[in-house]
């Protein structure tokens, strides 16, 4: 996988398992910020207000280094940690998984709980749609009409979408994968003998 690519949950997905009469409902959602993840947790707390536990974990950022987990009253390490491990194993980030538990009257023990939360999280992540996210940098390229073919050829080779803006000169406002920015700039300069200009945008 390229360094500027990562995968995330594409749409809300739910999966349910029952173990010794306890129901574990796992819910997954794309959450690009902490506030989004926690808002989802609170929404599920209200939706399933009669559940015993609402355990969760989320991973944020391209490399998933911003994370949080909660056992929500379950024995330490039996819920949030297994859920987080499942997110890591699935290589998903900017994502949150909440597992809602309805107690069935039979205690599962710490090992049984960890396996149950892990199974629920694994099931929902296996069934959810995924979306690839590419980290890009906005770049404007300016060229004369004589160099249009050279610029469009470069962008087509790299599969970068573009829509030229025609005026006295031609402008291409494009989003370039971060790992290719230096290469694209060098190619723009080389292929037009430095006639074309560029500007990195915020």
- Tell me what pLDDT residue 107 has: 93
Residues 45 and 86 in one domain: yes
Spans of the chain below 70 pLDDT: 1-2
Residues 59 and 13 in one domain: yes
Instruction: Identify the domain containing residue 113 by its residue range.
Output: 5-132
Tell me which of 132, 163, 190 is where a domain ends.
132
The total of structural domains in the chain comes to: 2
- Tell me what pLDDT residue 178 has: 87
Distance separating alpha carbons of residues 84 and 117, to the nearest angstrom: 10
DSSP SS3 for 161: coil
- Tell me what pLDDT residue 158 has: 93
- Tell me what pLDDT residue 1 has: 47
Nearest residue to 184 (alpha-carbon basis) of 195, 192, 193, 176: 176
Residues 153 and 114 in one domain: no
- Tell me what pLDDT residue 2 has: 55
Greatest distance between any 2 Cα atoms in the chain:
77
CB distance 158 to 184 below 8 Å: yes
Residues 89 and 184 in one domain: no
């Amino acid at each position: 996988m390229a360094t500027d690519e990562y995968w995330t949950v594409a749409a809300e997905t739910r999966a349910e398992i029952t173990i010794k009469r306890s129901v574990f409902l796992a819910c997954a959602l794309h959450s690009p910020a902490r506030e989004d993840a926690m808002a989802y947790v609170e929404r599920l707390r209200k939706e399933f207000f009669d559940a015993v536990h609402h355990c969760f974990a989320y991973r944020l950022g391209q490399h998933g280094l911003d994370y949080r987990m909660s056992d929500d009253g379950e024995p330490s390490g039996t819920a949030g940690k297994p859920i987080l491990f499942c997110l890591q194993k699935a290589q998903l980030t900017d994502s949150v998984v909440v597992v809602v538990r309805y107690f069935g009257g039979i205690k599962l023990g710490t090992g049984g709980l960890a396996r149950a939360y892990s199974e629920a999280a694994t099931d929902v992540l296996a069934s959810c749609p995924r979306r690839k996210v590419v980290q890009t940098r906005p770049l404007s390229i300016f060229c004369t009409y004589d160099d249009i073919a050279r610029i469009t050829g470069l962008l087509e080779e790299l599969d970068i979408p573009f829509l030229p803006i025609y005026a006295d000169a031609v402008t291409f406002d494009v989003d370039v994968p971060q790992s290719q920015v230096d290469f694209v700039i060098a190619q723009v300069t080389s292929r037009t003998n430095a006639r074309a200009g560029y500007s990195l945008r915020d």
